Amino acid sequence: MGSTTARSSNRRTIQSYTESAREYNGQVSSRPPRYIASALRRMMTHVTAGGLILEVGSGTGRDADFIESLGGKVRRTDATQAFLDLQAERGKHGERLNLLTDRLGGPYDAILAICVLIHVERADTDRVLRKIRRALRPGGVFLAAVWEGAGQTDGRYHMTYWSRSAFARRLAAAGLTVEWDSRTVARGGEMLLMFLARRLP
């Protein structure tokens, strides 16, 4: 990881999710909202039968459940053990994985990170995106969602905000070409940016 500050932000974010995981689980619907479900379906059109999808930051497991209902095979991962424990309570297996510090394995047909890169400091984003690209098979796709805005905040959770053009440039710099993107009003009126990007050969 890039710096002592980044490591500290990462630890604080994981600890905050550890403390709030059960409460968060009780507040989140068991099915993804329509705009995320639509993006997941779009991602699945690029996954061949039997192809493997890595989900980084599975959280409650809601999106992985939906992908599996479409016939997908998902490797569920999260940096927060409390979320993995909650999924295990309903018979779902997940693995501990920290996007910043751990190897991702692969190659995967697709990688999914919904509101995960918002917790990565801007200075570490290029390195993380290159790691994601390396874990994809040639032609594989990456589905990401980030909050629109400017700057970073360091409260309970580290948050990095992006403009549509700036995040698209970071994807391109990492060797990921944007196939589709959207801008949607989400929780509390915030704007969610979603990108489906393909690994170039």
CATH no. for residue 166?
Answer: 3.40.50.150
Q: How many domains does the chain have?
A: 1
Q: Which domain holds residue 55?
A: 4-199
Distance CA 26, CA 56 (A): 21
What is the model's pLDDT at position 168? 98
pTM, entire model: 0.89
Contact 110, 130 (CB under 8 A): no
Query: At CA 144, angle to CA 178 and CA 42, rounded to 5?
Result: 70
Residue 112, strand partner residues: 55, 143
Mean pLDDT of the chain, nearest integer: 90
Percent of the chain with pLDDT over 90: 76
Among the listed residues 172, 111, 105, the one whose alpha carbon sits nearest the alpha carbon of residue 145: 111
> Is beta strand 158-160 parallel, antiparallel or unpaired with respect to 152-154?
antiparallel
Distance CA 27, CA 20 (A): 11
Distance CA 182, CA 170 (A): 16
Convert the pLDDT of each residue in 29-72 to its tens digit: 678 999 999 999 999 999 999 999 999 999 999 999 999 999 99
Q: What tokens does 116 get?
A: 């995960």
Percent of the chain with pLDDT over 70: 85
Contact 148, 193 (CB under 8 A): yes
Distance CA 184, CA 35 (A): 8
pLDDT-based confidence at 1, cuts 50/70/90?
very low
Q: What tokens does 178 get?
A: 């944007």
Distance CA 50, CA 40 (A): 16
Query: At CA 191, angle to CA 147 and CA 143, rounded to 5?
Result: 55
Contact 192, 183 (CB under 8 A): yes
